[in-house]
Structure 1
Amino acid sequence: MYQLEPIAALATAPGIGAIAVVRVSGEGAIAITNRLFRGKDLTQQASHTAHFGTLRNQQNGIIDEVLVTVFRAPKSFTKEDVVEISCHGSEFIIQQILRRLTQEGVRLARPGEFTQRAFLNGQFDLVQAEAVADLIASDSDASHRAALTQLRGGFSKQLKGLRQQLIDFVALVELELDFGEEDVEFAHRDQLRQLMLDIRRVLHPLIDSFSVGNVIKNGVPTVIVGKPNAGKSTLLNALLNEDKAIVSDIPGTTRDVIEDELFINGIRFRLIDTAGLREATDTIEAIGIERTQQKMREAALVVYLFDGLNVSPDDLQEVVNEVRSSGKPYLLVGNKLDAITDEKKQQLANIVGESVVWISAAKQTNLDELKTALSSRVRTDAAVQTGSAVVTSARHYEHLTGTDEALARAITGLDAGATPDWLAMDLRVALQHLGELTGEITTDDLLESIFSKFCIGK
């Protein structure tokens, strides 16, 4: 472990509050803080202890009464000496403390620099480091569980072990290159092939989980479409329990898309209300309908709402054919449940040949059934509830697929009797991807790109 120059930043959210925490980490962090502190001698205190006192300015005036917690290396988040100063949450006080620290030679931290130091000091690997940011940003039960699984090791620990086995085989394959004319084989080909197959068996569920992970992290773009006056805006308002969209009996009231978020069973749905699908009566409505069609193309889930009282069988069949042809997961929702007979419902259900969720948007009837149907269209719970690792990062997905493709080429070459130099080339590519994934191979640009997205103080 090593300690870099001392850095400091506000570790709690900016803004006025009851309490704020200023974090200091690096060489001399405890001694520097002690020079500002009036209370116990911090340099003589044990790790993981808290001490009450005051912080002083250069004129020995009191800045604030504070509680200082001492963490000694390597038993801290960064594995450096760390001090956390809990003060009152005044912006003025916070700035006075940071200013005083910088006067003593402490540098203000860059975004994510504390977590970056923790990674560089071996506190966790790069996948786990990125999970810290995901955990802070988690806004649903599913995203929280996914980030927590990654923070605790997720798939990275398993891949690191397999990567080390692959490194050992690559070393033997490359050793064969030194004895090329003697036709010796140090790396047993059957064992190498089995290892590559084992790694790919680990990779495939992770690669497949990215579609689920993307939903968990970014939410499910869910577009509500239908004919004018089907009740789309009323449904959006009912689901959100607020008057988000204008409701009117005049067809074509909604001219632009309206978006908001709804959490169902721990999953974030990005609900999008759209202009009614029909022949436009003016230029503005035409633009709105075009945007509706665009949102349908971009959506992960389409909710087609129809007026069960006034829809004709032919119109409904045409709609169903159009939704099916889009290739998107969809849900058929019949509105005005309170005004139609069971016979009419059965007739329409027979036409579409599949289940229809019946609701009354105006009277908010059967909305729980609709929410259940929505969540059933998004398959996330099984993977996340069991604690299985789910890939939520495009960077992770890129390296996992790169590894898998390199190993597939290596297996093909192995079966075709490829020479050790060709075999080693594909294996090196696989190792490069695995190393960049977990952070065993890094560049300054990569680290800068990852940690710059963190909040300052973390």
Structure 2
Amino acid sequence: MSTASYFSNKDTIVAVATAAGRGAIAVIRLSGPQAIIIAQSVFRGKDLRQQATHTIHFGTIRDGARLVDEVLISLFLAPHSYTKENVVEISCHGSDYIVQEIIKLLLKNGARLAQAGEFTKRAFLNGQFDLAQAEAVADLIAADSAKSHEVALKQMRGGFSAEIKALRGQLIHFASLIELELDFGEEDVAFADRSALENLIHELQRLIRNLLQSFALGNVIKNGVPTVIVGKPNAGKSTLLNVLLNEEKAIVSEIPGTTRDFIEDEISLEGITFRFIDTAGLRETQDKVEAIGVERSRQKIEEAALIIYLFDVNELSPAELGSELQALNTSGKPVLAVANKVDLARNLEPAAYETVVPVLYIAAADKVGIETLKQKLISTVNQGNLNTGSSTIVTNLRHYASLEQTNQALDAVLQGLAQGISGDFLAADIRRALYALGEITGEITTDDLLENIFSKFCIGK
């Protein structure tokens, strides 16, 4: 589907901008050249065509003589609106019936239903912001923790885009010099200082590597940390989950094997979302249902970013703990060894466990040591890098892939410089790097790329 068929700037589009479901109010958004005229055709109150931008007006929506609702209408005149077009927002009562009746009236008077993400797509195409900022709008809407909100807001305001544009600008300077050399090819003139270009490439790669390395952290901030609680049956995994979530999420029983499938929920700790997964106890069992649960537990270990190995300090010796951890096969993922039921411990010897692995000591049922465990979870994920400050963090897989492509193209430039290849080959590799960087901010786009990005937005945005 081409961009032209996906939408036309000549159309005036309409959609509900508030979440589906009954509420006190709903907001219906119009955008396009006829937005004010179409709204005026169903509105009884002040003449909207004579009003200033960023004003609100009370009146009624009517279908002929029939009263549909009392509303407030907000006006945003081009170019001083989200889309840089005329925008009208109708705040009506939140009845689904009222919303649908108003939208039907607007459609009858010349509007059409908006596609997913079409308001933001118009904002991008009209130069309100670049593509990376547009994608950050969706991230901001989806943000469910303080850190994900912080990063999305920073990217929406152009922090990431500014860094990418600075990198691209430096490359464009050298690309233009090399292209100039090609114009004077017969005269064997060198405008681009090769050593300066090499130094620039090394500096750009250093910055790009930092951005690429930030993606692991960005993914954690955006999607949360999948944290699996594993251990033998009756170690207290379900009790720990309930305490961490501060609710009775999992069934707690002294009978081993009570949890036969995984139970999942999430909390936010200092702005980071942790998705805790309580799994079936790891043991050999003849019970077919429990065996399926154990297998699923091992699958969750594979998918986890962080593992809590919980054990009953009264049931597992230091040597057995070492064997259990070795058998987990965690592929280098961070594992927190947590000793539970220390309140019931007989002759507890922490030093013996410490010779195997660092251990945290808790009594989950009495909430002893839980705050220490939470701080350890945060520090394990944090590793001193979570306070973003002014640094840029990559959270988008598309951006990560484009940065990888840029880095590969720059590698080719360095290889070409080392081999002394001609300027036309250097220019080709530099153009490849510029193309990949341009895809991030939307300076280089395709119809398919735009459709893929904006189709994931909600309809009213």
Which of the numbers 117, 123, 127 marks the counterpart of 1:122? 127
Residue 443 of structure 2 corresponds to residue 437 of structure 1: no
Deviations 1:271-328 (A, max 9, x none): 1111212222233332222222221122110100010122123212212434586311
Offset of residue 452 of structure 1:
0.6
Deviations 1:80-126 (A, max 9, x none): 01111111111111111111111111011011100000000111110
Offset of residue 132 of structure 1:
0.4
Aligned partner of residue 247 in structure 2, secondary structure: coil
Task: Give the Cα separation in 2 of the matches to 1:113 and 1:300.
Answer: 35
The count of aligned residue pairs is: 454
Return 118-127 or 314-323, whichever deviates more. Answer: 314-323
| Counterpart code for 1:219 | G
Q: 1:5 to 1:267 in 2, by over 3 A?
A: same
Q: 1:384 to 1:446 in 2, by over 3 A?
A: farther
**Gap runs ≥5 in structure 2:** 1-7
Partner of 2:5: none
Partner of 1:204: 209
**Gap runs ≥5 in structure 1:** none
Partner of 2:21: 15
Partner of 1:379: 382
Task: Give the Cα separation in 2 of the matches to 1:144 and 1:384.
Answer: 13
Task: Give the Cα separation in 2 of the matches to 1:89 and 1:384.
Answer: 40
Which of the numbers 195, 210, 219 marks the counterpart of 2:224? 219
Kept in 2, the 8 Å contact 1:6–1:28? The answer is yes
Could you say what the CA RMSD is over the residues aligned between the two structures, in angstroms?
1.8
Kept in 1, the 8 Å contact 2:132–2:441? The answer is yes
Which of the numbers 367, 370, 374 marks the counterpart of 2:370? 367
State percent identity of aligned pairs: 58
Provide the TM-score with structure 1 as the length reference: 0.95
Task: Give the Cα separation in 2 of the matches to 1:196 and 1:50.
Answer: 53
Which of the numbers 40, 44, 53 marks the counterpart of 1:38? 44
Partner of 1:103: 108
Q: 1:249 to 1:143 in 2, by over 3 A?
A: same
Offset of residue 353 of structure 1:
4.3
Kept in 2, the 8 Å contact 1:145–1:387? The answer is no
Deviations 1:204-226 (A, max 9, x none): 22111100011111111111111
Deviations 1:353-406 (A, max 9, x none): 42x111111222221111111111102774444142211110010001111121
Provide the TM-score with structure 2 as the length reference: 0.94
Q: 1:380 to 1:55 in 2, by over 3 A?
A: farther
| Counterpart code for 2:433 | A
Kept in 2, the 8 Å contact 1:383–1:389? The answer is no
Aligned partner of residue 267 in structure 2, secondary structure: strand
Partner of 2:458: 455
Task: Give the Cα separation in 1 of the matches to 2:51 and 2:436.
Answer: 44
Kept in 1, the 8 Å contact 2:337–2:357? The answer is no
Partner of 2:59: 53
Segments of 4+ moved more than 4 angstroms: none
Aligned partner of residue 21 in structure 1, secondary structure: strand
Q: 1:325 to 1:444 in 2, by over 3 A?
A: closer
Offset of residue 135 of structure 1:
0.3
Deviations 1:176-211 (A, max 9, x none): 234334322122223322332332232122111100
Task: Give the Cα separation in 1 of the matches to 2:154 and 2:383.
Answer: 14
Task: Give the Cα separation in 2 of the matches to 1:47 and 1:160.
Answer: 32
Q: 1:161 to 1:346 in 2, by over 3 A?
A: closer
Task: Give the Cα separation in 1 of the matches to 2:29 and 2:350.
Answer: 65
Q: 1:159 to 1:407 in 2, by over 3 A?
A: same
Residue 321 of structure 2 corresponds to residue 316 of structure 1: yes
Kept in 2, the 8 Å contact 1:231–1:305? The answer is yes
Return 159-168 or 109-118, whichever deviates more. Answer: 159-168
